[in-house]
A and B are shown apart, each in its own frame.
Chain A
Amino acid sequence: AQTVTQSQPEMSVQEAETVTLSCTYDTSESDYYLFWYKQPPSRQMILVIRQEAYKQQNATENRFSVNFQKAAKSFSLKISDSQLGDAAMYFCAYTLRGHNFNKFYFGSGTKLNVKP
Chain B
Amino acid sequence: NAGVTQTPKFQVLKTGQSMTLQCAQDMNHEYMSWYRQDPGMGLRLIHYSVGAGITDQGEVPNGYNVSRSTTEDFPLRLLSAAPSQTSVYFCASSSAQERTQYFGPGTRLLVL
Chain A residues engaging chain B, CB cutoff 8 angstroms: 33, 35, 37, 42-47, 50, 91, 95, 97, 100-104, 106-109
In the complex, number of A-B residue pairs with CB atoms less than 8 Å apart: 50
Cα–Cα, bound, A4→B103 (Å):
19
Which 7 pairs show the lowest CB-CB distances between chains A and B? A45-B103, A102-B99, A108-B42, A106-B43, A43-B106, A106-B42, A101-B50
Is there an interface contact between A43 and B88, defined as CB atoms closer than 8 Å? yes
Chain B residues engaging chain A, CB cutoff 8 angstroms: 31, 33, 40-43, 45, 48, 50, 56, 58, 88, 90, 92, 94, 96, 99-103, 105-106, 108
Majority SS at the chain B contact face: strand
Known contacts A45-B90, A101-B48, A104-B33; 15 additional CB pairs below 8 A are A33-B100, A35-B101, A43-B105, A43-B106, A44-B105, A46-B103, A50-B100, A95-B99, A97-B99, A102-B31, A102-B99, A103-B45, A103-B48, A104-B101, A107-B42
Majority SS at the chain A contact face: loop
Is there an interface contact between B43 and A91, defined as CB atoms closer than 8 Å? yes
